[in-house]
Amino acid sequence: MQKIVGTKISLTRGDTLKVKVSMVKPNGSEYIPDGSDSIRFAMKKHYEDTSVLIEKTIPNDTRLLWLEPSDTKPLEFGTYVYDIQLTHSDGDVDTFIDRAIFELTEEVI
């Protein structure tokens, strides 16, 4: 089961997560990435950790963050941190979701 409040994601370990990522320009309008932009999701246990536990490229056309059951199944229950970063075609980088919480909860079996 997934629950999203603001940028906090709660997910039962081993479940599938499918969530559309949206980006907003400073003027409030939606930013639609072009074909040469790239969007990346990265999750760690702590921000100071050097190793990333889950890293996913989010497709520009769907902007769908998709975690498979195998992505979270080997992880411990608990609280993690994640960010989502947009790299523009000119090389500029915008981390538009930063220091967000990802809570991995227990399944019954």
- How would residue 109 be classed by pLDDT, with cut points 50, 70 and 90? low
- How would residue 5 be classed by pLDDT, with cut points 50, 70 and 90? confident
Q: What is the pLDDT of residue 34?
A: 86
More confidently predicted of 2 and 60: 60
- How would residue 64 be classed by pLDDT, with cut points 50, 70 and 90? very high
CATH number, position 94 = 2.60.40.10
Q: Please give the residue range of the domain that contains residue 14.
A: 2-105
Q: Taking the chain, what is the end-to-end CA distance rounded to the nearest angstrom?
A: 14
Contacts of 43 (CB under 8 A, 6+ apart): 52, 53, 54, 55, 80, 81, 82, 102
Model-level pTM? 0.91
Contact by Cβ (8 Å): 37, 31:
no
How many domains, the chain?
A: 1
Contact by Cβ (8 Å): 54, 43:
yes
